[in-house]
Amino acid sequence: MDKQKKNILLIICDQLSAQALPAWGNSFAKTPNINSIVESGVRFNNTFTTCPLCQPARASFWTGLYPHQTGVMSNGRQHYVPNLSETIPTLGETFAAGGYKTVHFGKQHDAGSLRGFDLAPITEREIKNVSAVFPINYDSREDLNTSEQTIKFLNNYSDKAPYFTVADMNNPHDICNWIGKFQHNNKLVKTDCELPPLPKNLYRDDKDFKKLPLPIQYICCAHTRQAQIAEWDEEKIRYYLLAYHHYLTRVDDEIGKILTAVRQRYDKNNTLIVLMADHGDSMCGRWMATKHTSFYDETVRVPFVFSGPEIYGKNRSVKGLVSLLDLFPTLCDYAGIKSNIQTEGKSLMPWLAYKSTDFPHKFVVSQWHTEWGFTIEPGRMIRTEKYKYTHYLEENGEELYNLVTDPGELKNLADNPDYESVLKEHRNFLENYVSATKDPYFNLEWNAEKRWRKHKPGYRNHRGTAAPQQ
């Protein structure tokens, strides 16, 4: 083993909000294994994904580029998604060229951006004694296979080259399947377990709802899962949260098995462990389910934790704004891989290796285009330390939230004269970003049929199907 080079184990969860974890203030979650990574390392408290949707987010962090630069702007189906261009360098091929054994287990959904990793076949493992309260699908069954394969690799790998291994887990994404089972008026399967409390930002004032950008007002019409929860009551919302925590604990169990395998290796002290998620989950804030179109913190703010040699401090948190675009340059910097590759991210080593106090980014950006192409709702988010500004092309919809006084993002201040200068400042940030990254945003076109913009405001007034179900 080359003493200079450290192994890297990157653990990714799908649909895991930062706020779902104890380190971010959730006292209901049971995640002892994730906690052990947090307690032994450094976490970036304010990390944002570039898109709250699997495939665009993944193609983005595997390349360090925004979705408009990778061309991977949706999950596909009716919306064309090109395979990542061969001319765009990927994290996998950069590490393979840098002398690493690069292997990937589990969820891909990458549009070609995992190029450079040896990809393991994805299969399912049978899970016995599944409770009817928490039905499972391929998400949970594949995760068992992913942890098994990762552990097998860790138990057997003895080559000279350092490894860069990815354990790419699906859960807590199985919550999407859970909604399907209990959609509309389908009866809950109940349990005696303690239910999580309702979120503080469950309800939004009707007057404020009408001031929201149209793509936000009508997420229920564009998104199957949001349509399926329109008729729910508070009890079902609490069961959703209970199930979400269940799938989170499931993935934490698998992560625990992987950590045990790492810690049993002779080179355990020479291994960096990174934990992150592609995007979050609405966790029922503002009566919302899963993720779609919006840029609220539940869905765009994700965990980002580093633990291992040369990471300074234990259980330390860094407040400054960070983007998942930073993953690529940070890992290259950590591993001493020099390259001329241009990414939109920044190395976070000054914050990981010692206590740099300035902020990594003045603002971070997230994008939305469409999930499946049935409605097209281009939008951009500018997140600064105190504020969040969003813009949607459809009728120039805007949101502005003061995150200090309104962390639940319930009061849109975009038309409040007291915030005119803040609004202007954030519009300028958006324009600066658009020109610096050559984002064609302002020239894109939105597309949503009138029938998806007509019911009484409020997700709970939605009835029937949504655009993707037509």
Q: Which residues bind Zn ion (CB under 5 A)?
A: 220-221, 462
The Cα–Cα gap between 219 and 223 comes to 6
Question: Which contiguous run of DSSP H or E holds residue 131?
Answer: none
Least distance in angstroms from the C-beta of 371 to Zn ion: 15
Q: Which is nearer to Zn ion, 308 or 468 (CB)?
A: 468
Q: Is the dihedral of CA 10, 315, 362, 15 positive or negative?
A: positive
| Distance (Å) of CA 363 to CA 217, 281, 343 | 26, 22, 16
Instruction: With beta carbons less than 8 A apart as the criterion, state whether 112 and 93 touch.
Output: no
Q: Which is nearer to Zn ion, 13 or 467 (CB)?
A: 467
Q: Which is nearer to Zn ion, 386 or 463 (CB)?
A: 463
The Cα–Cα gap between 392 and 441 comes to 10
Least distance in angstroms from the C-beta of 447 to Zn ion: 17
Other CB atoms within a 10 A radius of the CB of residue 313 amount to 14
Outline where 348-419 has alpha helix (H). 349-353
Instruction: Give the type of residue at 145.
Output: N
Which tokens go with 189?
């399967």
Least distance in angstroms from the C-beta of 227 to Zn ion: 6
Least distance in angstroms from the C-beta of 218 to Zn ion: 5
Q: Which is nearer to Zn ion, 84 or 467 (CB)?
A: 467
Least distance in angstroms from the C-beta of 291 to Zn ion: 17
Q: Which is nearer to Zn ion, 221 or 258 (CB)?
A: 221
Least distance in angstroms from the C-beta of 321 to Zn ion: 33
Q: Which is nearer to Zn ion, 94 or 293 (CB)?
A: 293
Q: Which is nearer to Zn ion, 2 or 395 (CB)?
A: 395
CA angle at 179 for the pair 173 and 180, rounded to the nearest 5°: 105
State the helix-helix crossing angle for 32-39 and 234-263, rounded to 10 degrees.
Answer: 60
The Cα–Cα gap between 304 and 259 comes to 17
Least distance in angstroms from the C-beta of 366 to Zn ion: 23
